Amino acid sequence: MKHLKFEDALKRLEEITDKLETGDLSLEESLKLYQEGIKLKEWCYKYLQEAEGKIYKIIQSNDGKEIIEEISEDSIFKNDLFS
């Protein structure tokens, strides 16, 4: 998952939601998709938290210097849930 783009993760999460909402899956398939969805949700949340932190750092720079810290996937996955 480290190489997954945010947009792709969100799209997959939407696909999972659509499949679960149909009610046509077996319990086993539903649980498997649900677990994948939870991991994707957590991954997306962490990614958005990093982005929010980056924006906050830029906005909080009052001394005339722009503080820009790139969001790297390594910084998002310091405690990788998907290893």
Judge whether 54 lies within some domain.
yes
Residues of the chain with pLDDT under 70: 1-2, 55-83
Judge whether 67 lies within some domain.
yes
What's the pLDDT score for residue 82? 44
DSSP 63: S
Judge whether 81 lies within some domain.
no
Judge whether 27 lies within some domain.
yes
- Cα separation, 49 vs 55, in Å, equals 10
Collapse the DSSP code of 72 into the 3-class scheme (helix H, G, I; strand E, B; otherwise coil) and give the result: coil
Judge whether 83 lies within some domain.
no
The amino acid that residue 59 corresponds to is I
pLDDT digits (tens, 9 = 90+) for 42-53: 999 999 988 877
Domain encompassing residue 13: 6-76
Structural domains of the chain, count = 1
Q: Please, what is the average pLDDT of the chain? A: 79
- Cα separation, 78 vs 17, in Å, equals 27
What's the pLDDT score for residue 56? 66
Judge whether 82 lies within some domain.
no
User: What's this model's pTM, rounded to 2 decimal places?
Assistant: 0.64
